[in-house]
Amino acid sequence: MAKKRSRWQKVTIKGFEYIQVLIWFAQSKKEKKNRNAKREFLKRPDGSKKPFLEFAKKPAPDYHWRSDEETANLIEEAVDEVYKKYGLDPKKESVLGNAPIVLKGLTLSMVYKTFRSHIETKAAKKTGNARSKSTLREYDYGFENFTRVFGEVLVDQIPDHIQEDYAGAALLLQKSNGETYSPRTIRKFCVSMNTFFSWGNKRGMIPGKLISLDLPEVKRKIPRTFTEEALDSMERYLEAKIQEWSQKTSRKDARTSKAKLWRIRYRAFMLARYTGMRVAEIWSLRLHRIKVDQGPAKSCIELREINDIYGGRDKLGKEFRISFKTKSNQEENVNIGPKLFEFLKADKKSRGKNERWYLDRGDGSNWFVTANSLGDSFNKVVKECGFAGMAKRAHGFRSSLATKLTQESGIHVAFKQLRHASIETTIKAYVGDSTEAIQAALGKVENASQINDAKSVRLSDNLSEIDANDAKTKGRTIS
């Protein structure tokens, strides 16, 4: 059984004793790290610290000392009020099940700290798993931007115009680089803030009508994709570079070489082009997760969570760690086509006994310390081949595959291969629908028609003759 933690302590300042409340629930990151409670002094109505003597001694005209039990009860009651102010159950040190007493002076920041502790320690309903660090950061960014727009807001004095005004004002906020936020980003902030408002409203910490921020409109952008010619050109370029540098000698004791670098880039390119895997998925892929030993029918790439495991040593010899989670927080499998199957099968046979990563240096170390480093490497290849700006950096390979799969086999196939939670994501964010693609699709429909072209022409000729006869008889009276 866990040891019961003290809720308050006496603190001596300049010879006077005061009561300091210890709150173990709504802690900051630093307080949690150092295992410290949030601390707050019991105060008088005027806001000044209330001395211990005022609890232990009755006021005039009595002026006699209270018993230790009476003093402790008075202090406990005052501590209860502080706990309630933070939306905590004084008896359980947890969020109140019923509506807490909202004291004057309670701010949204105070409520958010309690909310933040709640979502950090509770599993998400949708996935049943703990929220990732990136998800928690999204909530923090959303609240930070909200306070940039409206400042500190008291929960009992929230203006009515907040719902309508936030998105418009947030779109004008500048980031540290001087740029403004995109409507898509502000939309994410609105969604996270609406979750916070709903949570606080249900627990009585944000009283009144439920606040629901208006979401900004997000216009769909047709994703930019690489043409097949561009992808073929990049693949041939990488193969030529491997050939070129393989013929050059390097130091025997060299940990890396240009030939190895181009081979690594080629491996990454093959997965990006032919599976549509995300950069982080390729970067964190371990060799034993590539299943090509039981033939093409059972082949796949397994994506599994990696929790802070040894990634190797960088070029300076410094150790680094690798962590990875799928976007769905579930185990996922990526399908492999025939060409990629043959490539991966041969590639696996060529590996040394110490290699553990798909992008291994050869000694058990991942070539790239971070997923962003791999993204930069993709970008260099795209630039060197002259296709910079054609598509969105490394993610352009994913969009290109999605568009191609949709054109060849339909949107459902692309949705399955990209492993999206919703098919709407595949449609809105990944699949291009250029005029040329639509015209080509219409051409296929026309070519699939069962009506003979010659018959269509004869029918057209007959209609022309009828029209000509109508023109001759026009104006005559028919008896």
Residues 300 and 383 in one domain: yes
Judge whether 233 lies within some domain. yes
Residues 80 and 114 placed together within one structural domain of the fold:
no
245 and 277 housed in the same domain? yes
CATH number assigned to the domain comprising residue 235 = 1.10.443.10
Confirm if 24 and 5 have CB atoms less than 8 A apart: yes
Domain that holds residue 29: 8-86
Here the tokens at position 169 are 């004002």
Q: Does 57 map to a domain?
A: yes
3-state secondary structure the chain: CCCCCCCEEEEEECCEEEEEEEECCCCCHHHHHCCCCEEEECECCCCCECECHHHHECCCCCCCECCHHHHHHHHHHHHHHHHHHCCEECCCCEECCCCCCCCCCCEHHHHHHHHHHHHHHCECCCCCCECCHHHHHHHHHHHHHHHHHHCCCEHHHCCCCHHHHHHHHHCCCECCCCCECCHHHHHHHHHHHHHHHHHHHHCCCCCCCCCCCCCCCCCCCCCCCCCHHHHHHHHHHHHHHHHHHHCCCCCCCCCCCHHHHHHHHHHHHHHHHHHCCCHHHHHCCEHHHEECCCCHHHCEEEECCEEEEEEEECCCCCEEEEEECCCCCCCEEECCCHHHHHHHHHHHHCCCCCCCECCECCCCCECCCCHHHHHHHHHHHHHHCCCCCCCCCCHHHHHHHHHHHHHHHCHHHHHHHHCCCCHHHHHHHHCCCCHHHHHHHHHHHHHCCCCCHHHHHHHHHHHHHHHHHHHHHCCCCCC
Amino acid at 241: K
| Whether 122 and 182 share a structural domain | yes
Task: Let me know whether 237 and 339 are in one domain.
Answer: yes
Same domain, 234 and 378: yes
402 domain residue, yes or no: no
Would 222 be classed as within a structural domain?
A: no
Give me the number of domains the chain comprises: 3
Does residue 272 belong to any structural domain of this protein? yes
Residue 431 belongs to some domain of the structure: no
Query: Which of 356, 372, 391 marks a domain boundary?
Result: 391
* Statement to judge: residues 165 and 254 lie in one domain: no
Asked whether residue 243 falls in the same domain as residue 327, the answer is yes
Position 424 in a domain: no
Quick one: which of 31, 13, 33 has its CA closest to 22?
Answer: 31
How many whole angstroms separate alpha carbon 265 and alpha carbon 282? Answer: 11
Q: For residue 139, what are its two tokens? A: 């909530």
pLDDT in tens, the chain (479 residues): 344 567 788 888 888 888 888 876 655 556 555 556 778 888 888 888 888 888 887 765 666 778 888 888 888 888 888 887 776 766 654 444 444 444 567 889 988 998 998 888 888 777 677 787 888 899 999 999 999 999 888 888 888 888 899 999 999 988 888 889 988 899 999 999 999 999 988 888 888 888 999 998 877 677 788 999 999 999 999 999 999 988 877 666 556 788 899 999 999 999 999 999 999 999 999 999 999 998 888 899 999 998 888 999 888 889 999 989 888 888 999 999 999 999 999 999 999 999 999 999 999 999 999 999 999 999 999 999 999 989 877 788 998 998 888 888 888 888 899 888 888 777 776 665 556 666 666 666 667 655 555 554 555 555 555 555 655 555 554 44
What is the distance between the alpha carbons of residues 378 and 282, in angstroms, rounded to a whole number? 12
Write b or e for each residue in 383-415: b if 16 or more Cβ atoms lie within 10 A of its Cβ, otherwise e: eebebeeebeebbbbbbbbbbbbbbeeebeebb
- Among 38, 56, 86, which residue terminates a domain? 86
Q: Identify whether the C-beta of residue 333 lies closer than 8 Å to the C-beta of residue 324.
A: no
215 domain-assigned: no
Tell me: do 52 and 136 sit in the same domain: no
The verdict on 237 and 383 lying in the same domain is: yes
| Residues 71 and 176 sit within 8 Å (Cβ to Cβ) | no
Do 75 and 130 belong together in one domain? no
Cβ(21)–Cβ(8) below 8 Å: yes
Instruction: Give the angle 54-59-65 at the CA atoms, nearest 5°.
Output: 70
> Which residue, of 360, 391, 422, is where some domain finishes?
391
Shared-domain flag, residues 158 and 278:
no
